[in-house]
A and B are shown apart, each in its own frame.
Chain A
């Protein structure tokens, strides 16, 4: 019998900075603040940290972070590629390291100044090499344009409408309206606002796009045994997966044989294989929402409904509190903050601790996913 990840580790601490369009401090300072807060939340001394995991797009390196927070000797460090696809994988890598004894206390984090900083797609020098030579000269410039292509095709094939995308935007906004830390707190969204909003990449409008945000988050991963001695109820990493489908190219599923079954499908197969639970057992979901169409695509990929049924799934308040699958209960990337999906992980932890601002009563299982449309990752958390 081989080692298993199942419930062997837990998230024992979470931390975050404020979220804003502009924060004066540097990304490094924000990262340190979130990490120190997460360790304090767990009741673990920074000198005990011996593992780090972050994104390849993270500008703050573990060497700098380890020095700044006063970590001890570090025996595991890892970085995950493909932008927002890396969020859950950072925790998964730490869980694997802790479960196999390569480290004892792991920290994952994401610090970002995209509210006040530059947009990566403007950097044509970086964008243009492969695969940019096949897309950028034709004015397919931004992630919104690339996801817009998939959205248009999805709407065409399955009869999805803008009202379905609005259902997604509204559920996230309604939850943000309950969350004082959210950028869109006290800023309600109406159907009229959505339907008359300016286009960003038709068929996607302003409200189909996530928020650009300054902020940082972190979480602490330890063994399940150790987590039981920490300050809060442990949130166990029940299953974890990464997904890079055969023949996939980042952001451009249309080069796959079957463009509407993206990385979520690959990650989901592995995630459920490693779990004692199935989609029917999930109480609340934090699904990566850089763009609204990623939600119906992910609902299908992770098995909450059949192929082509993801848009219809959003009807009748299914994604709202009290609905079939409460979604992105902190407000998500669309309405709380867009920090490459890391706030979805911490919100999942809050739900399973019972401390969310939009608490799902008695939630014991939470699915968290990373960016769909790019090589992705997912976590199944349980209390």
Chain B
């Protein structure tokens, strides 16, 4: 009926199959709150972001010649065409730029977290850099651990890092004023 309204029955077989079919890197089948959530599959340009995240650092790619930040990472600076870049550490502070509350039909691991949020954070020192993430009550709390009523555009947030069972660390966000 709609772009996003397949019967829930239709969600089950093929999706569960694809989730459990041990596709390397795409899913996490280890037990725990995050089991079944999609894991990032870094590409060559994005890998440093995830490496820094694993060390608890939020870093954004920066041109080594003109100093412009860019996201998502890519080989060439759109401002000066330099191919030299480095990863600049961010304060980890930002504000909620927008958010949604996805409802089923969803992949099973997300459907199991009713009321979870997906947010876009604009970074405090670079508001044009906007990262998709999740607002959580604590670094290891589930994606639906914040009452949706507390979500507000403009709310200040700070980054935390969560090591997922599959060995990948992702940034998540806490309200500055919980």
Chain B residue numbers with a CB within 8 Å of A257 are 128
Q: Report yes or no: A118 in contact with B3, Cβ–Cβ below 8 A.
A: no
Q: Report yes or no: A201 in contact with B15, Cβ–Cβ below 8 A.
A: no
Q: Report yes or no: B5 in contact with A206, Cβ–Cβ below 8 A.
A: yes
Q: Report yes or no: B5 in contact with A137, Cβ–Cβ below 8 A.
A: no
Task: Indicate whether A128 sits within 8 Å of B98 (C-beta atoms), given known contacts A138-B118, A142-B4.
Answer: no
Contact of A134 among B102, B116, B131, B134 (CB under 8 A): B131
Per DSSP, chain A at the interface is mixed
Q: How many Å lie between the Cα of A149 and that of B103 in the bound state? A: 14
Give the interface centre of B27, B50, B103 by most chain A CB atoms within 10 Å: B103
Q: Report yes or no: B103 in contact with A255, Cβ–Cβ below 8 A.
A: no
What is the number of residues of chain A that contact chain B, defined by CB distance less than 8 Å? 53
Chain A residue numbers with a CB within 8 Å of B100 are 140, 145, 148-149, 152, 201-204
Task: Indicate whether A149 sits within 8 Å of B118 (C-beta atoms), given known contacts A124-B23, A124-B26, A201-B103.
Answer: yes
Convert A180-213 into 0s and 1s, putting 1 for each residue whose CB lies closer than 8 angstroms to a CB of B: 0000000000000000001111111011011110
In the complex formed, the residue of B with least CB distance to A115 is B1
Chain B residue numbers with a CB within 8 Å of A153 are 97-98, 153
In the complex formed, the residue of A with least CB distance to B50 is A133
What is the number of residues of chain B that contact chain A, defined by CB distance less than 8 Å? 52
Chain A residue numbers with a CB within 8 Å of B102 are 139-142, 144-145, 148, 200-202
Q: Verify if B106 is at the interface (C-beta below 8 Å from A).
A: yes
Q: Report yes or no: A212 in contact with B3, Cβ–Cβ below 8 A.
A: yes
Q: Report yes or no: A139 in contact with B37, Cβ–Cβ below 8 A.
A: yes
Q: How many Å lie between the Cα of A131 and that of B26 in the bound state? A: 14
Q: Verify if A290 is at the interface (C-beta below 8 Å from B).
A: yes
In the complex formed, the residue of B with least CB distance to A131 is B72
Chain A residue numbers with a CB within 8 Å of B72 are 130-131, 134, 249, 255
Interface residues of A (CB under 8 A from B): 21, 118-119, 122-125, 128-145, 148-150, 152-153, 156, 198-204, 206-207, 209-212, 247, 249, 254-255, 257, 259, 290-291, 338
Q: A137-B40, A201-B4 are in contact. List 10 more A-B contacts (CB 8 A).
A: A119-B6, A123-B18, A132-B41, A137-B170, A141-B106, A149-B120, A150-B98, A152-B99, A209-B2, A211-B2
The 8 closest A-B pairs by CB, nearest first: A209-B2, A202-B101, A148-B100, A153-B98, A133-B40, A140-B118, A199-B103, A128-B41
What are 30 A-B pairs with beta-carbon distances under 8 A?
A: A122-B107, A124-B27, A124-B38, A125-B23, A130-B43, A130-B45, A130-B46, A132-B41, A133-B41, A134-B131, A138-B118, A138-B134, A139-B102, A139-B113, A139-B134, A139-B143, A141-B38, A142-B4, A142-B102, A145-B102, A145-B118, A149-B120, A150-B98, A198-B103, A201-B101, A203-B100, A207-B2, A211-B2, A212-B3, A291-B3
